[in-house]
Amino acid sequence: MTDAPKTGPVDATKIPRYGEPSTFARLPRTDQVDQVDVAIVGVPFDTGVSYRPGARFGPGHVRASSKLLRPYHPGLDVEPFGVQQVADAGDIAVNPFDIGEAIDAVERAASDLRADGARLLTIGGDHTIALPLLRSVARDHGPVAVLHFDAHLDTWDTYFGAPYTHGTPFRRASEEGLLDPEHCLHMGIRGPLYSREDLTEDGVLGFQIIRADDYETEGTATAIERMRARLGDRPVYVSVDIDVLDPAHAPGTGTPEAGGLTSRELLHTLRALAGLNIVGADIVEVAPAYDHAEITGIAAAHVAYELLGVLATGRA
């Protein structure tokens, strides 16, 4: 990172928030700045979904819902756009008819964007995209600790015989040696499973679980303590499926499950990642066709803002 002034969002005191540009938080594009510390990139892809489609429209929806974000984060006492150059890299073009080709395209594009040291904050798209993103990150950092917020495990083997779907990325990542099995963690897991073996196999792959119910019985502070202890000082990749939130807080998603986290619980938990070595992150499964009043889009935009704040704390 250089000490040069950073180009931040459009000044909302001069151009109304509902005006242009249409980038995330009305930030500059990557081609408008000399260097990038954090690139925000969209992946409009949902060919791997198993229930309700529509997450391909997630990147645009989250960008539209991010216009109210402001430059100063009081909870972390940091300016996420002032101490690091954040820019919008647009969307990665992927083949909607060939999952294998799409996975390869995401991996190549992510590696190109990261080539000069930028960290990626990716907006999906369905959770299939976590696999190629992890391939890119692990190439530089080795096996990483995955912090996975989700209602679902996403460590199943196949759907209808298909090995690459939004329910399988972390099994494939574990099989490929991309994960640090001593430091991976699911948070917010809940709802019915196919069998007891789902949990057994998940543990073998290297994950521990903090359930959504644990937030109720043990409290947010204990969940955060357990989370930080599990992650330790390892390079951490954060993957947030928006359905970790209760449908009351995020109705716009493809596989909603009752009994999830509140927006406040999720944002507070993410804020507690400050000081850890976050090497990349994604926010996935926002499906705007099922959203209303931008409830889900706004939640996802604030998830991104918390992650940008956490990344900024290491530079302030």
User: What would the pLDDT profile of 87-112 be if each residue is shown by its tens digit?
Assistant: 999 999 999 999 999 999 999 999 99
3: confidence class by pLDDT, cuts 50, 70, 90: low
pLDDT at 316 over 60: no
Length of the chain counted residue by residue: 316
The DSSP line for 66-79 is TTT--S-BTTTTB-
- Rounding to the nearest 10 degrees, give the CA dihedral for residues 188, 136, 67, 78: 80
Q: For residue range 204-227, what is the model confidence (pLDDT) as tens digits?
A: 999 999 999 999 999 999 999 999
Report the percentage of the chain scoring pLDDT > 70: 98
How confident is the model at residue 2, as a pLDDT?
47
Mention every residue, 6+ apart, whose C-beta is less than 8 A from residue 55.
Answer: 45, 46, 49, 124, 125, 126, 253, 254, 284, 285, 286, 287
154: confidence class by pLDDT, cuts 50, 70, 90: very high
β-bridge partners, 278: 236
Q: For residue range 252-262, what is the model confidence (pLDDT) as tens digits?
A: 999 999 999 99
pLDDT at 300 over 50: yes
- Rounding to the nearest 10 degrees, give the CA dihedral for residues 171, 173, 174, 176: 120
- Structural domain boundaries of the chain? 24-313
How confident is the model at residue 5, as a pLDDT?
74
Cβ–Cβ under 8 Å, residues 63 and 296: no
CA distance 312 to 262: 24
Element (H, E) at 210: strand 207-211
pLDDT at 1 over 70: no
Q: For residue range 221-254, what is the model confidence (pLDDT) as tens digits?
A: 999 999 999 999 999 999 999 999 999 999 999 9
185 φ, ψ (degrees, to nearest 5): -150, 130
- Rounding to the nearest 10 degrees, give the CA dihedral for residues 124, 129, 135, 137: 10
CATH classification code of 24-313: 3.40.800.10
Tokens at 68, concatenated: 């109210």
- Under DSSP, the state recorded for 50 is S
